[in-house]
Amino acid sequence: MTAANQTLLSKWMPLIIILLAAIVFDQLFHDRALGVNLFLFHVLIIGLIVQRVGWRAVSIPARWAGVGALIAVSMVVVHHSIIAGFMAIVSIGLFAALAHESALRSVPFGYLQLAANYIMLPVAAVEGTGELIRGNGGTRAGWRWIRLVLIPLAVALIFFQLYRVGNPKFDQLTAGFLDGFFQAIGDLLEWIFTPHALFFIWGAIVCAGLIFRFAPRLVPQWEEPCSDLLKRVRSQRPHWMAPRSMDPLERERRMGMVLLVLVNALLLAVNVIDISWVWIGFEVPENFSLKQFVHEGTWILIISIFLSMLILLHLFRRNQNFYVRSAWLRILGLVWVGQNLVLGVSVFLRNYHYISFHGLAYKRIG
């Protein structure tokens, strides 16, 4: 293959890949429910992205996102649930964004990158079409003749409509012609853009945004100043002002110690009861409200977990992270996090026992 042919093939290759992927998308999903087809599509997209960028260039966050996408789409095959399908779709989008931009580290900026990629896709499509036209002499000549006809025709139609609005007699004379013209255009578009054709175009857009990178390096620049390390930023006071007292920080530490000791003791009692009752050999007692045990009880426990997060975020929001006397406060905080993980397992087991006891179907579980 000559160098000229290789250059021409490299220009057309992205469009060829998008069209082939769109054909696969159409065959997998048109008039079909989600299931094994979504798993096959995930494997195809991940394979194409890795082949394009190279495995070494795929960042660690992108690899974890890819693993998450494969786990989620496997759950679609196993459970066929709406939440599994939703998570599989958003996970493959996150993987694509992080794989295209290896500098990204976080999930929120990854989705911003994905949104920017689809926003810039129409611009890239126009530029790519122009590049292909400029590279082909015959096509370029044909495009010049098309522009020579279409542009004057479009301008003439604009003035035609303006004159119709401004002159009632002219509007009366030309109404039939214009109505027939627009009817013919509408019939042509309806014949070309069938529901299946629109679905194919939608598939091409989805595949293009996942496989190729169109977004500029704007989102990584937004994320770059955000550090993963917690650094202490000292506030400089004027030299003529007395240094701030450590008393407020010490009082906050003592309050946090008392609080964490109390809540750890309470949660320890709850976890011991749950482990001995819910985890091991659980049986439904007589006259026991399993509904209250699961519905109201589970929601209360979930709220307590979120409240625990908020309290720890408040305690360790600023200088308490760097205070030399806060070592035990951090240990108690970690113990509380660990106990909340045990509580999360108890919440899961409550639901499991409820499902097992009533033999619920998967839609009822959802």
Predicted confidence (pLDDT) per residue in 112-131, tens digit: 999 998 988 888 777 766 66
Place of tokens 């409240």: 307
Structural tokens at position 120: 């810039």
Token pair of 358 as six digits: 């009533």
Tokens describing residue 341: 């993980």
pLDDT of res. 63: 93
Task: Copy the structure tokens of residue 356.
Answer: 């097992």
What pLDDT, on a 0 to 100 scale, did the predictor assign at position 15?
Answer: 83
Neighbours of 293 (CB within 10 A): 15
Tokens at 286, concatenated: 């007589």
Q: How far is CA 153 from CA 97, 143, 186, 187, in A?
A: 42, 15, 17, 20
Question: Letter for the amino acid at 240?
Answer: W
What pLDDT does residue 314 have? 83
Q: Are 364 and 292 in contact (CB under 8 A)?
A: no
279, 284, 286, 290: CA torsion to nearest 10:
100
Question: Which of the residues in the chain have pLDDT under 70?
Answer: 1-10, 128-151, 153-154, 157, 160-161, 163-167, 169-182, 184-189, 191-192, 228-247, 282-298, 356-366
Quickly tell me which residue has 């069209």 as its tokens: 19
In this prediction, residue 366 carries a pLDDT of 47
Choose among 275, 278, 268: nearest CA to 353.
278
Residue with tokens 């303006």: 162
8 A C-beta contact, residue 157 and residue 255: no
Q: pTM of the full predicted structure?
A: 0.61
CB 111 within 8 A of CB 74: no
Measured CA to CA, the distance from residue 162 to residue 63 in angstroms comes to 57
Could you tell me which of 366, 361, 351 has the C-alpha nearest to residue 290?
A: 351
DSSP 18: H
Name the residue among 245, 304, 244 with its Cα closest to residue 274.
Answer: 304
Biggest CA–CA distance in the chain, Å, is: 91
The tokens 């070592």 sit on which residue? 327
DSSP conformational letter for 286: T
